[in-house]
Structure 1
Amino acid sequence: MKASKIAYRPVALVLGAVSGMAAGALFKQTWKALGHGEDAPDATDEDRSWREVLLTATLQGAIFAGVKAAVDRVGATTVRRLTGTWPS
């Protein structure tokens, strides 16, 4: 196993947790900024429409994917700077 891959594993675990927390906070702020109140609807929220539930889930998924990709890219770039090779 390559040294860069071994070095990246603990970094990836930490970055995964950090990206999840950051994405959750960003989604909450985005939800508030859109003027929808404090809590986003759950899929089983009977008082919310299909449209609102699905749009909320799509927005949340896009934010989580974007934050995860950005954080993973920063982690891989950092490992390359430290080890000289890109983790694969």
Structure 2
Amino acid sequence: MRASKIAYRPVGLALGAVSGMLAGAAFKQVWKVIEGEGDAPDALDEDRPWRQILLAAAIQGAIFAVVKAAVERSGAQATRSVTGTWPG
């Protein structure tokens, strides 16, 4: 196994946790702007309409994907600057 992959493994795990927290916080803020409510609907929330539940899920998925990609890419670049090789 290449040194860059070994070096990136713990970094990747830590960045995954950080990206989840960042994405969750970003989603809460975006949802407040969109719906003016504090909490996004849960799929099992029977008092919320389908439109609202599916909209929240789509926005949350998009935010998580973008944040995850940005954080992973930054981690890979940092690993390359330390090890000299890309961790892929």
| TM-score in same-fold range (> 0.5) | yes
Mapped to 2, the partners of 1:7 and 1:23 lie a distance apart of 24
> What residue is the counterpart of 1:18 in the other structure?
18
For 1:72, the equivalent position in structure 2 comes to 72
With the length of structure 2 as denominator, give the TM-score of the two structures: 0.97
* 1:36 CA displacement: 2.9
Letter matched to residue 19 of structure 2: S
Q: Which runs of 5+ in 2 are unaligned?
A: none
Q: TM-score if structure 1 supplies the norm length?
A: 0.97
Tell me the number of residue pairs that the alignment of Structure 1 and Structure 2 aligns. Answer: 88
Q: Which ranges of structure 1 fall in alignment gaps of 5 or more residues?
A: none
CA RMSD of superposed structures (Å) = 0.7
The residue aligned with 2:49 is: 49
Equivalent position SS for 1:34: helix
Aligned sequence identity (%): 68
Structure 1 match to 2:63: 63
